[in-house]
Chain A
Amino acid sequence: MSAAEQLLPATSVGTEPLFAVRDLTRLYGPDKGCQGVSFELYPGEVLGIVGESGSGKSTLLSLLCGRCPPDRGSVQYRDGSGDWLDLYAASEAERRTLLRTEWGFVEQNPRDGLRMGVSAGANIGERLMAQGVRHYGQLRAAGLDWLQQVEIDPARIDDLPRAFSGGMQQRLQIARNLVSSPKLVFMDEPTGGLDVSVQARLLDLLRGLVRELDLAVVIVTHDLAVARLLADRLMVMRRSRVVESGLTDQILDDPQHPYTQLLVSSVLQP
């Protein structure tokens, strides 16, 4: 499937948001966790959440994807039929279904996001099976197709994830998530822990897929280069608060907040 041939029209400024967060707060201690976070995400937008360790970005991600209830505030998602769902007013069943169908979650460590004991094809097909696909031939075809899209040799469809390198496991995790055509994907440091050249290949893949599939993405990263490459907009977090947010290249080229200026100036240039 060629990227360009399937291109969707540019995001119109008039469409409704896909994801709305209001005053989201969860604190474990003074300034530990996250507080007062509000934003809206539109279809096809990539939001980067950057910050150093302890900034609260991981807490925020858990709150956003339904894994952890907030002390205060709300997370709302507009589902496939256009209805707004309040994430924490919904049942556990609805949240789990959402995470399996319209949402994706790419874990930092691929071992957390894969079933290590079953083959690559089974890993990719699981979401489809969970949605009721009962045709082995179709499942296998989907597996082969997605392995190709994430640039893994399709001949390895029956291999266990144990046999894959870290970068390949991560790409398999991405395929496993995207097979259900999600509209919103959460990524937790997807390139962390990978060798630089492997990272580069993964980033290229992500860039291509995000554009091609018009995914809305929330990506947490401490790496500003990754943020610049993938994100349309950024939120900079420090000690549980969002200190600055806006267009990615504006934040990185013309940071306003003292902390952001510190962060940007600290990045080493090879």
Chain B
Amino acid sequence: MNTLIEVRDLAKTFTLHQQHGVSLQVLRGLNFTVAAGECLVLHGQSGAGKSTLLRTLYGNYLPAGGSIRIRHAGDWLELVGAEPRQVLAVRRQTLGYVSQFLRVIPRVPALEVVMEPALARGWTRVDAEARAKALLTRLNIPERLWQLAPGTFSGGEQQRVNLARGFMVGWPVMLLDEPTASLDEANAGVVLELIGEARAAGSALIGIFHDRAIREAVADRYLDMTQEDLAHAS
């Protein structure tokens, strides 16, 4: 089995100093692995820590303890305690993150937003542009929007730009946070195709899907997060 990401005893606590030091332990004692071509679906109620887990894996949130090991550049890299530049290198080459919320950098046209991950990997502009256009077309973003900055797009349009960006290049490990939320059936179908292509290419996927049908279509395994939902520690 070709394990690409390995999580051991992962814990995440939020301490809110502004609110009298209230402490929220959202994740505790998490253990799992995901192999190439596998899709692990996170399962649990709202507030169970699913998004938190994805963000912690991505390095956006700081783990309180435990280990996240990822297969990067032919070797295992421990992400907990890694240097910022190592995390950035992993995010550039190995670990992709697709969320429903596009962080809009003002004034950058949609096409550029989508091309960026490829350019960061050294693709030529010509190749990057071709693939970006293909993806945007597949996701039904009309051509007249390609040169506009996504800041003025609708929520659904922003999400689809984000998806195009997310699937622009191949990622050994992909984190998907509600990628089909607020998409119609046709577009959701496109996303399913893209996920299928990624799996076939050997990516390990970890995802959150609110739609049960989609969940069942993609999941190989489930990780039940409800047991992680703990009462507040004071």
* Interfacial residues, chain A to chain B (CB-CB below 8 A): 2-5, 7, 9-13, 42, 45, 200, 204, 229, 232-233, 246-250, 253-254, 256-258, 261-262, 265
Shortest CB distance A246–B (Å): 6
Contact B84 A254, beta carbon cutoff 8 Å: no
Q: CA A3 – CA B116 in complex, angstroms?
A: 11
In the assembled complex, the CB of A206 is this many whole angstroms from the nearest CB of chain B, namely 13
Contacts of B62 in A (CB 8 A): 246, 250, 254, 256
- A247 proximity list for chain B (CB < 8 A): 59, 84, 87-88
Smallest Cβ-Cβ distance to B17: which chain A residue: A258
A262 touches B18 (CB 8 A): yes
User: CB within 8 Å of A: which of B107-127?
Assistant: 107-108, 115, 119-125
**Roughly how many angstroms separate A164 CA and B92 CA in the complex, as a whole number?**
39
Given A13-B86, A200-B106, A261 and B120 touching (CB < 8 A)? no
Residues of A within 8 A of B107 (CB): 200, 204
Enumerate chain A residues within 8 angstroms of B201, measured Cβ to Cβ: none
Give the interface residue-count category, chain B.
20 to 34
Q: Given the complex of chains A and B, what is the CA–CA distance between A182 and B124 in angstroms?
A: 25
B121 A10 Cβ-Cβ under 8 A: yes
Judged by a CB distance under 8 angstroms, whether B1 is at the interface is: no
Chain A residues with Cβ below 8 Å from B83 are 13
Are A265 and B85 CB-contacts (below 8 A) given A5-B124, A250-B59?
Answer: no
Residues of B within 8 A of A258 (CB): 17-18
Would you call A233 and B84 a contact (CB within 8 A)?
Answer: yes
Cα-based distance from A84 to B111 in the complex (angstroms): 42
Is the C-beta of B89 less than 8 angstroms from some C-beta in chain A? yes
Select from chain B the residue with minimum beta-carbon distance to A47: B84
Judge whether B164 is part of the interface by a CB distance below 8 angstroms: no
How many Å lie between the Cα of A5 and that of B129 in the bound state?
12
Residues of A within 8 A of B61 (CB): 250, 253-254
CA distance A232 to B115 in the complex (A): 20
- For A265, the chain B residues whose CB sits under 8 A away are 18
Within 8 A of A (CB), among B68-87: 73, 83-87
Task: Tell me the bound Cα distance from A10 to B87 in angstroms.
Answer: 12
A–B complex contacts, Cβ < 8 Å, 16 sampled: A4-B124, A9-B122, A10-B92, A10-B121, A11-B85, A13-B73, A42-B85, A229-B105, A247-B88, A248-B84, A249-B60, A253-B60, A256-B62, A261-B16, A262-B17, A262-B18
Note all chain B residues with C-beta closer than 8 A to A13.
73, 83, 85-86, 89
Q: Is A5 touching B125 in the complex (CB atoms < 8 A)?
A: yes
Cα of A256 to Cα of B62 in the assembled complex, Å: 8
